[in-house]
Amino acid sequence: MSSSSPTQASLIQLGNSYRGAGKRESSSSDAKQQQHRHAIKQVAAGEQRLDGWSVAIDVVASGLCGTDLHYLGQDVGLGHEGVGVVSALGSALLQDDGAEAKKLGLKVGSRVGWGYVQGACLACLPCVQGVDTMCRTRKLYGVTNKHQGSIGDAYVVDARFVHLIPDALPLVYAAPLQCAGATVFGAIHACADLKPWHRVGVLAIGGLGHLAIQYLSKMGCHVVVFSTSDSKREEAFKLGASEFVATGRDNKELKSAIKSADWKGSVDYLFVASSVQPDWDTYLHPRILSSRATVIPLSVSADALHIKGYQQLISKEIRIQGSMVASRPVHRIMLDFSARTRSWPWIELLPMSPEGVEEAVNRLDAGQVRYRFVLQHPTHKDPLFPDHVPGPALQNKI
Ligand SMILES: [Zn+2]
Ligand SMILES: [Zn+2]
């Protein structure tokens, strides 16, 4: 939907995007499903100026992240796990025979992705330290350029905040890596003392957890997965888990398991990838968390942090380490590592249409996805892997 003449383009027509349209009356007789039925509308996203450093992208696919659900009630284009093909370059990139574009490795036709952080000042201390995610004037999805969403036809973004996708990585798999992959890998990367011989816990197997298991196991760690029920046991081992612990409702099974002589031991790191905060005090137990362990909360939650066993944090020297999403250098490392080790998300492809987006939104909200939805554009194709068609769960097979 972008201009056919990259050198002359100044306004890019964005085509369609998708937004929340309130609650829909469900035809289901199931009262629970009726509560969860969000309506989605397809709207014209309008146009976006192709500023000097910006790049226009024809969207090929987009993941759907839990964070998108928070924007359903607002006038925000859905999607911040975008992948596509560069269709036009801004004037600063084109000057001096395209010198700046060449430095970034970008040209019309490049396969790229972009995620939650879409701009920063590039001059403040966090920026020059390579941690642009902590820039005080960073530009985040949902706050800046709200009319655009990666679930749409085209997107315009600062070229310095897009990421080249390795040739070995199909775009439909690269899509969820732009936020879920960057979130998990950024958190792992921030644990500078994490070594292959550590026992590492992953709490919950979902969009984030299933990537954390893959990354950590491929780094050589002993991965202990905590999941509510046994239903994902087999999949956890396929993803690379070394141990699986079914915690049960209200952690009843976990609490009895740690009393048993068979309990295999505590973890040195705990990545908390559940959709809501866990009962922290259960996990502070010395049979679960080693002394000097690090806990990394990844759940997006507006609730307060409640820990009754505060004194244990002190006496066991437990560290709680916040983490948002990978900075640009770490994002690049993540893409390279994902491609090289085939740490790909397990995805279910759906068509990028009002019906497809609505199904993805409602099933994600109901927790009915293993493990990431990817919306596939009806006509834009991945130039290297053009033959993917919407279908059932692919489970890492191409
Ligand atoms: Zn800055
Ligand atoms: Zn996200």
Q: Please report the domains of the chain, with CATH numbers, ordered by start residue.
A: 11-178+328-376 (3.90.180.10), 192-320 (3.40.50.720)
- Paired tokens of 324: 């948002």
CA of 291 relative to ligand 1 center, distance in Å: 36
Whose atoms come closest to the Cα of 123: which ligand?
Answer: 1
Strands of 228-305, DSSP E:
243-246, 267-272, 289-297
CA of 127 relative to ligand 2 center, distance in Å: 21
Identify residues whose C-beta is under 5 A from ligand 2, the ion: 65, 67, 179
The pLDDT value recorded for residue 386 is: 85
Give the HSE-up count for residue 295: Cα atoms under 13 Å, Cβ half-sphere: 26
Residue 13 CB burial class (10 angstroms; 0-12, 13-18, ≥19): middle
pLDDT tens over the chain, length 398 residues: 444 444 455 899 999 999 998 887 665 566 555 566 899 999 999 999 998 999 999 999 999 999 999 999 888 999 999 999 999 999 999 999 999 999 999 999 999 999 999 999 999 999 999 999 999 999 999 998 899 999 999 999 999 999 999 999 999 999 999 999 999 999 999 999 999 999 999 999 999 999 999 999 999 999 999 999 999 999 999 999 999 999 998 999 999 999 998 899 899 999 999 989 999 999 999 999 999 999 999 988 889 999 998 999 999 999 999 999 999 999 999 999 999 999 999 999 999 999 999 999 999 999 899 899 999 999 999 999 887 654 444 554 44
In the beta sheet, which residues pair with residue 40? 20
Contact 168, 238 (CB under 8 A): no
Whose atoms come closest to the Cα of 124: which ligand?
Answer: 1
Backbone phi and psi for residue 385, each to the nearest 5 degrees, phi listed first: -135, 70
CA of 122 relative to ligand 1 center, distance in Å: 5
CA of 97 relative to ligand 2 center, distance in Å: 36
CA of 158 relative to ligand 1 center, distance in Å: 14
Whose atoms come closest to the Cα of 183: which ligand?
Answer: 2
In the beta sheet, which residues pair with residue 83? 61, 113
CA of 160 relative to ligand 1 center, distance in Å: 13
The pLDDT value recorded for residue 299 is: 84
Residue whose tokens read 């700046």? 100
The pLDDT value recorded for residue 29 is: 61
The pLDDT value recorded for residue 301 is: 85
CA of 330 relative to ligand 1 center, distance in Å: 16
The set of residues, in sequence order, having a beta carbon less than 8 Å from that of 149 and lying 6+ positions away, is 17, 18, 19, 45, 62, 76, 77, 78, 79, 80, 155
DSSP track, 165-198? PPTTS-HHHHHHIIIIIHHHHHHHHH-TT--TTS
Collapsed DSSP state (helix, strand, coil) of residue 391: coil
- Paired tokens of 39: 């309506």
CA of 183 relative to ligand 2 center, distance in Å: 8
CA of 352 relative to ligand 1 center, distance in Å: 34
CA of 90 relative to ligand 1 center, distance in Å: 21
Whose atoms come closest to the Cα of 70: which ligand?
Answer: 2
Q: Which of 330, 319, 268, 275 is nearest to 298 (CA)?
A: 275
The pLDDT value recorded for residue 9 is: 53
The pLDDT value recorded for residue 397 is: 47
Whose atoms come closest to the Cα of 186: which ligand?
Answer: 2
The pLDDT value recorded for residue 144 is: 86
CA of 124 relative to ligand 1 center, distance in Å: 4
Maximum distance among all Cα pairs of the chain, rounded to whole angstroms: 72
